[in-house]
Chains A and B, each alone.
Chain A
Amino acid sequence: MDPNFLEFEQPIADLEVKIEELKRVSTESDLDLSVEIDRLTQKSEKLTKDIFSSLSAWQVTQLARHPKRPYTLDYIKGVFSDFRELHGDRMSADDHAIVGGLAKMGNQGVVIIGHQKGRDTKEKVYRNFGMPKPEGYRKSQRLMKMAERFRLPIITFIDTPGAYPGVDAEERGQSEAIAKSIYLMTGLKVPIISIVIGEGGSGGALAIGVCDRLLMLSYATYSVISPEGCASILWKSADKAPEAAEAMKVTSKQLMEFELIDRIIEEPLGGAHRDPGATIRTTRQAIQEELERLLKLDEKSLLMQREEKIGKMGRFVEA
């Protein structure tokens, strides 16, 4: 099985194998197979469109976790210039699951913060699978306060399964670190744009995700608990994760319907990993538009709008 293709994409993978085979034959011999290749390529594209037009929440979850998907540092490289990474919480450590630093978008200085996952095993371990510890959130708070001091907008990239559930993280105050981050962001006097690029995992995601504009890649997910975690608690079995993903309505489309996010960034056909360059260009365009709009607001209206946005999140009745 081709690791580039997810299980539900296997029919596409099979076609792609055939196309590759025909291409190989046609270059190795003098046979002109271009008509046949074109036909199969069109068929593959149509099949992809069909499959992707009706993805289940669980299939989207798998796409959001796709190992070939662009990560925060890929976006930083493609969207901004002059990025300089800044390290450490000035207290105990530098968390590699959260990266941050200064950069420019055109002439505008910005502060960037994002979860970072790793690709190969070694890098995955180094990045702790994108699961931050308290020092990561404290680094993020430090950079946000600096952004406020120098009046720089903040752009955050969300891509984490969740904050790290470990003994050391608890000892150093994981709850406090997340709580303080959320608290800080509710009152920061500079514009904040957050983009969910992959997995938006619970409090660990929200800790860098309280913002003025919440954007989401079309095949990203955002949820209060992982589908596996939800399934093991409510269905008593992690195998029911697909049902849990569906029930929690974790996709960008579903969250847009509930007005919990502000904008969807469309991914190329087949997902961001099929064309990272195009994905990053679309994302850049979206960030630029949002940033221009937010920079026009004075501090008071910015904070008022944020407070209103946060305040109206929730559904209830007054009986």
Chain B
Amino acid sequence: MDLMDKLKILSNAAKYDVSCSSSGSKRKNSNNGIGDASESGICHSFTPDGRCISLLKILFSNDCVFDCKYCINGSSRDFLRVSFTPDDVCNLTINFYRRNYIEGLFLSSAIIKNPNYTMELLLKTVKKLRLEKNFNGYIHLKAIPGADDHLIQEAGTYVDRMSVNIELPSSHSLKLLAPQKSKDNILKPMGIIKNSIINNNEMKKSIKSTPLFVPGGQSTQLIVGATPESDGKIIKLSENLYNKYSLKRVYYSAYVPVIKDNKLLPDITHPPMLREHRLYQADWLLRYYGFKADELLKNDDDNFDLNFDPKTYWALSNLNEFPTEINKASYEKLLRIPGIGVTSAKKILKIRRVHNLTFEDLKNLRVVLKRAKYFITCSGKYCGDVLFDDVKIKNKLLEQNLPKHNGINPNQLSFFDKPSIEEKTTVSGIIIPKETISSPSIIYSIKKDRPSNIILPETSILRVNDRLTSIHGEF
């Protein structure tokens, strides 16, 4: 089998791994080699699904002894099994890198024979790439759960990032869908890598020439929507991973229904991408905005609102903390305003030392005011176009979500239109529509018992808090 066919099969098998970052490593070109890492990371291309290609993402082999139900490489599946040789991988990486197609290598693998055998093969490959080919670009390597400690530790000295995928967010789901994997098995290599990174950093303080050890940190990935875990559970798990295992990133992967006809897996046609997006937003709030998981979702069983991003949702339910005065609030407070991120907050801090900011200034600075304007004051002046009231703000924000051509009244009334609403006559002789317009089915209301005073068209509004929608993401 030639290289082209292998590449096609093994990159196709690796594409569901989302991690693609090439940032965080300061590895320099040395020994007259090729490549050096860019600390900010560089995206080299973008596929038609909008994801960036930064690393050559391939499996070493798809010949797996495990049989995970969600995975296309499961051992019970019938398809062509192929493996690269270490030389194949080295040649591809060096030649792609030289042509500036990629920033480095992302090497993962199915479990061939047993974890140790697989890890040894991966280690052999990266060693060859670093020592023989003098490659100094970025390498992201999967740590194989169940492999010996010393193999994982040795691999860590050659690569820039390591990751162990958790995939399923609870041990119950693991048992059900990935019977050969277990929670402890996955967390053990994570612990090893974490401790080695800490040791390495300590050593670096006293000995400057300490070799690098996983300078880009470690990451993991969770599949969203394959199992019934709620967003609350997932985001708490992520928070723990950041705190206890000091991970650099947790990636979320909307479940793509690659395996049909399995009763254990949900039967969906599209991956729940909006839900994945909300989780990423919440993840950012944890890492850069000083939020805690239980601030975003109070109960473990809660899911994120698909209509509002997590920060807006938090702000609407904590309206007593707003409005924030742009010219006085601390950095932490500025970051909590919906629509204002790290860049805008830093800009505001910088400018207000020399100038009192007005609403116009914020507009000129391209601070995103679509949401922020309802939550801020500039020198005491409130600039939202509705009263400072949670229901009114909510409606305004929902209105913005509607497509533009689809205003409050999507269809122009025509003389020849048949009345679409059935009417009924009350006892007192007044004709009212049978379905009152303010029927709660189309309306966002915070409290079920509150009579709603909002009128919005039925079209294209997402039904909120619909468990089914948010888990399966079909709409």
Q: Do A and B come from one complex?
A: no
